[in-house]
Amino acid sequence: MRLSTRIRPISYLKANAAEILSDIAENRQPMVITQNGEAKAVLQDVASFDQAQETLAMLKLLALGQQDIEAGRTRSARDVAGRLRAKARRGND
């Protein structure tokens, strides 16, 4: 995707809003809106936005996990499994 081909001035957005929204939803490609020649906003379909937010959340979790590893805040899989089994036994009593 070449974002440079999807740049439109705000006047174009005002005059063609329905067409732009249809295009964005159909092609799932964002559009940059300019004002006075300067990029001011990016229009994106909801599905792509949701996907990007989920991706960012996953990346944040990975970064937090990496920080835990670097700080030594880890447990072995054997230790975790043992704790889970012990907890399950207590729950069954």
pTM above 0.75, yes or no: no
Domains (ranges, CATH) in the chain?
A: 3-44 (3.40.1620.10), 48-92 (no CATH)
What is the reported pLDDT for 93? 63
Residues in Cβ contact with 34 at an 8 Å cutoff, skipping those fewer than 6 apart: 7, 8, 9, 10, 40
Amino acid at residue number 2? R
What is the reported pLDDT for 91? 79
What is the reported pLDDT for 2? 74
Say whether pLDDT at 1 is over 90.
no
What is the reported pLDDT for 16? 97
Say whether pLDDT at 90 is over 70.
yes
Convert the pLDDT of each residue in 3-41 to its tens digit: 778 999 999 999 999 999 999 999 999 999 999 999 999
